[in-house]
Structure 1
Amino acid sequence: MLLLTLGSLRLDQQDGDVAAAVARGDVQEALRLGLGRLDRGAGGDPERLAALGQVLGQALLAAGRDEQAEELFQKQLKMYEGLPRAQVRWLSSMDRGFMFLHLNKPGRAAETFNVVADADDAPPVLRVEALAGMAQAMQSMGEHRRAARTLAFAVAIAEAMEAPSLMMPLLTAIELELQVCRALRHYDDLAGAELPRDRDVRASLRSSALALAALPGVVARIEFLIALAAHEPATIGGQNGHGGQGNGQGAEGVDGLFDGVRWYRDRRLAPMEERARVEAALALLDRGQARTAYDILGPLAIDDARQLHHRHAIELRYCASKLHAMNGRHSDALRCYRQHAQLSLARLRFELTRVPYSRFLEQQERAEQADADQLRLPPRYRRAYQYILDHLHDRALSVRRIAAEIDVTERALQMAFRANLGLTPAEVIRKLRMACIRTELQQMAGRDSVLAVAARWGMANRSTLAHNYRQQFGETPSATASLPSFAELPSIAATVAAAVAGGGTGIGTGMGSAMGSAMGVGMGTAIEPVLPISLAAGVGAETSRREFSVDGV
């Protein structure tokens, strides 16, 4: 509901009644008003009709009308024909992104949203929406840090433009939603369960509800999140598996969960109702209230075969395992937990290989990876290192400019870097640039020219590029670009630290150790891998394309 409402902010005054219906949470009314208008709008303003069609497509998905949504997205391609080619690409990518997100294919969703998110020339409002969708997809894959950074980037773009008045409060609400949903899926990891219990989170949710009082549909979702976060110790009945509701805040929390499910059911929003039931069950099981969790799951709790093929199969198998365990059926609990673990591992293997190459995410990760190297420098010169990272793409970056930035002489800067890092500032710049160019060439798989990639990292001279690249990697940039794209390759962020740590020896060993650290990724959605890919030893490019059954992982 939050993403749908965020998208409706792009509608102009002519379609204000559709936006108002979405704001109320009356998705069916929005569809009644908008679909006929879209059919009659042939020959009208293509940009306005494109925005309306995208909102209606999301509304159809929210109403569970998947086939009709897919048909609408196909019709939209004809509507986009009157727009510039780049805009067609952005809008069609948004459509596919929301479809994949609805089908719970977060890797595909992130891949398509990133087409817009990583486009500097895309409309800022559209980029904000794409980044919010990408954050949701990253969250679904357990990439919690990347999800938070992606949403923070959306906030930064919104702050830099003349955003609609409700955009910033909506982004805040989405951030809080990610926090609550993250802890719901901690799967017995007690360290990950602390966040939504904090009173500040619930207070922030209440403040967000006040700020968005003009959007009843959003307020309903926020109130449901408050109920999810209203954790209290289980009662004796709850501990015995009979679902005692407790008193005070606990009873209010349970009532709020049932109210939230009814809210979606009354508005015939079946996918949102299913999601609410799963989230409520996870919260109740965490409180030890097995019977109440079983009741709120409703039909989702009964059919094991249906659960295995459900879009929320990972969560449903976990719920089934907990319910069996609380009722003393331990063999069934182990069987369901095994299926939950297999599904989780499959998600890690085959969805995270879809995590797209993204320059803005790599820049943020690069800064994190460089922390250790900066700490090796005296405090004054850490600013110089950070300045290099922030301006690596700038062709005018030079030792003189860096020295002037921190108010030291060039000689002092040279001596500090050589004494503490074993490299001069110019060597650091060169190695980092070459590492970034190499990784982008590998990740982009020939989708852009070598010079275009090099230019993005501040290298414009072909001969200088070829000489430095061959010296560092023993091959030409074009040879790297001609290789197929491998999901096992580390990100730029991983190679940056290796480039500096390797000193004069290059980055080969550093890349090996970086990939080795990625092999330690385990099972479960609370995992936060440093690298976006390379999840398990022996998973090759061909293997990653296969679909695995639950019992065949």
Structure 2
Amino acid sequence: MVSGIYFALASGIAARAHLPRYAQAVFEADWQQAYALVADAADGDERQLGVTAMVRLQALSDALALRDLDEEAEQGYARAQRVCRDAEQLRLVSCRNTGWQAFKRNRTSLARNCFTRIMHDDAASAAERTEAALALALIDHQLGHQRAAEHAIAQARNSAAMADDKLWAELVELLALDIGIQLTIRWSPGLADHVFWQSVRAASPSSLPQDAAVAASLRGIASGPWTLTLMARHASYLTELAATAAGDGDAARMLPTRMDALSLPERTVVHAHMRIDSLMAALGGGFSLLTDRLYSTLDKRGDTAGAVRGHLDLLYASGKVAALRGQVASALDLWMIYSQEALHRLRTEVISMRAQDPRADSAAQARADDIAGRLPAKYRRAYLYIVENIGHSTLTTREVAAHIDVTERALQMEFKRSLGMSPSALIRQLRLEGVRGELLDDTRTQATVLDTASRWGFTSRSSLLKNYRRQFHESPSETIHG
């Protein structure tokens, strides 16, 4: 799936109110113009950019990320986070930026944790929750968790209904159609030996698209009421993609034209992913010449190759293409690599779904790596030290600062800049999660709430109750009896 299309559209919709020309360029698939309209922010002083500084820097960084200029994008995101108005905004923006960057780098656990936190952050707007739910649907689909992807789509629909910009709702429906078509292709008879997706099919019978529903979607998708040019072009591309997998020769001939209409930057990850999807459709439809041509056009040099080298569909297709070319020994070697990777993915990368509330498994969630991923390397050691020693009631920020040889002030400034919270606030949050974890434990002793809290460093009953209710929206006694 071409997740970069949804990243681009989400960027445009989010920026539309403040940067309408940038958004319009994204919507018209004019990637160069979109970048040019915000490029001045790269050299501009944050103070000179005015009230739109954060939005402009976010848009610039998104445009750089779409062109695979990841280091420059990361620097831009850091600048955007420096001009955030308050801690809540910083927390959400940091999670959003880290989540998309991690997803692009195939760090799906980190990405998922970041977007899940946004979904459960009381300060998140309907638009921010919609974008996070869309990203979760993309991640879960990629990992083969189709029920989880369906749940994320449902959450995205609910959030989009409350968002000010109705384009969010349209984007959700496009993604829902896209996921259905991707499943139809990968579960087609021509790809019956694609072990990973066949295993997903066996585990997700409720996700199997019905023939009548798929046919109805395909009839309406290309001519549907898509507001944006990029949406309409992507819908047309999806139509040809599904028809090609079904064996339609006319669609197979039109597929390269539909790809070109999206004007994706050459030699980028997003361009390569679109070629891989088309390659899968050609294999599913039995179009050997188109398969060979598409495979040959995939750029196997430079950064793009590194980004897609472990792509499971590409590994699968490589073995199939080698067989079509009569390269039997090479095909067997490639199939062995694919089989090993598919087995690894099924065993380790297809994550076990926990409850959607990340606070329900607080001890594990407290150690989730999304916070560490948002901190510079030196301060990441400080976070890990906090996690490892959170059970010690005497833990202080001074001790943490001394551990990484910085001043308390430096530690506080970096945590606030990167996380939107101070080290002491983080320690309090993790301790509260520890208290909650014990209260939820069915095997715990009959110790009082205060006894439990004191082991986590809380000495004031009123402070405990106030902070506990603020963090979990219930009292400790409600947690026990809930």
Length-normalised TM-score, structure 1: 0.59
C-alpha distance after superposition, 1:171-198 (max 9, x if no partner): 1001111222234445253994995683
Query: Which residue in 1 is equivalent to 2:34?
Result: 30
What secondary structure, in the 3-state scheme, does the structure 1 residue paired with 2:15 have? coil
Query: Which of the numbers 216, 219, 222 marks the counterpart of 2:235?
Result: 222
Displacement, 1:155? 0.9
Give 1:112-511 correspondences, 5 Å limit: 112-159=114-161, 161-186=162-187, 187=194, 189=198, 192=201, 198-204=211-217, 207-231=220-244, 250-264=248-262, 268=266, 270-300=268-298, 310-311=308-309, 313-348=311-346, 351-352=349-350, 358-359=356-357, 439-445=361-367, 448=429, 465=439, 469-470=443-444
Letter of the aligned partner of 2:172 in structure 1?
A: L
Give the structure 2 partner of residue 88 of structure 1.
90
**Whole-angstrom distance in 1 between the partners of 2:156 and 2:51:** 22
CA distance in 1, matches of 2:269, 2:305: 14
Q: Distance in 2 between matches of 1:195 and 1:467?
A: 38
Find the counterpart in structure 2 of residue 549 from structure 1: none
Structure 2 vs 1, CA of residues 27 and 306 (structure 1 numbering), >3 Å: closer, same or farther? closer
Query: Which amino acid is 2:363 matched to?
Result: L
Larger Rg: 1
Distance of aligned partners of 1:44 and 1:143 in 2 relative to their CA distance in 1, 3 Å threshold: farther
* Alpha carbons 2:233, 2:258 under 8 Å: kept: yes
- Contact conserved, 1:282 with 1:319, CA < 8 A, in 2? yes
Unaligned regions of 5+ residues in structure 2, if any? 188-193, 368-389, 391-425, 458-482
Partner of 1:20: 24
Report the residue type matching 1:157 in the other structure: S
Query: What is the SS of the residue equivalent to 1:224?
Result: helix
**Structure 1 residues 333-358: Cα deviation after superposition (integer angstroms, max 9, x where no partner):** 22212211222344445545697874
Query: How far did 1:34 drift?
Result: 1.2
Displacement of 1:87 in angstroms is 1.5
Residues 55 and 80 in structure 2, CA contact (< 8 A), matched pair in contact too: no
Q: Quick one: which amino acid aligns to residue 146 of structure 1?
A: A
CA distance in 1, matches of 2:108, 2:216: 30
Distance 2:13 2:278 in 1: 29
CA contact (8 A) 1:131 1:154 kept: yes
Instruction: Using the TM superposition, give the Cα deviation of residue 88 of structure 1 relative to its aligned residue in structure 2, in angstroms.
Output: 0.7
Question: Aligned with 1:164: secondary structure?
Answer: coil
Return the offset for 1:8.
1.7
Instruction: Provide the C-alpha distance between the structure 1 equivalents of 2:53 and 2:225, rounded to a whole number of angstroms.
Output: 27
Match of 2:110 in 1: 108
1:62 is displaced (CA, Å) by 2.0
1:247 matched residue in structure 2: none
The unaligned stretches of length 5 or more in structure 1 are: 235-249, 363-435, 483-553
- Could you tell me whether the CA contact under 8 Å between 1:281 and 1:293 is conserved in 2? yes
Change (3 A) 1:451 1:293: same
1:328 to partner: Cα distance: 4.3
- Summarize the Cα distance change of 1:14–1:277 in structure 2 as closer, same or farther, 3 Å threshold: same
Q: Give yes or no for contact 1:442–1:480 (8 Å, CA) kept in 2.
A: no
Q: Percent identity?
A: 21
Code of the residue aligned with 1:177 in structure 2: it is D
Aligned residues: 380
Q: What's the CA shift for 1:199? A: 4.9
- Tell me which amino acid in the other structure corresponds to 1:35: A
Shift of 1:152: 0.8
Supply the RMSD in Å over aligned alpha carbons: 3.9
Distance (Å, rounded) in 1 between the aligned partners of 2:279 and 2:78: 36
Q: Give per-residue Cα distances to partners, 1:48-81, cap 9 Å, x unaligned.
A: 432333333222222233232222223223222x
Residues 493-542 of structure 1 deviation map (CA, whole Å, 9 limit, x = unaligned):
xxxxxxxxxxxxxxxxxxxxxxxxxxxxxxxxxxxxxxxxxxxxxxxxxx
Aligned partner of residue 123 in structure 2, secondary structure: coil
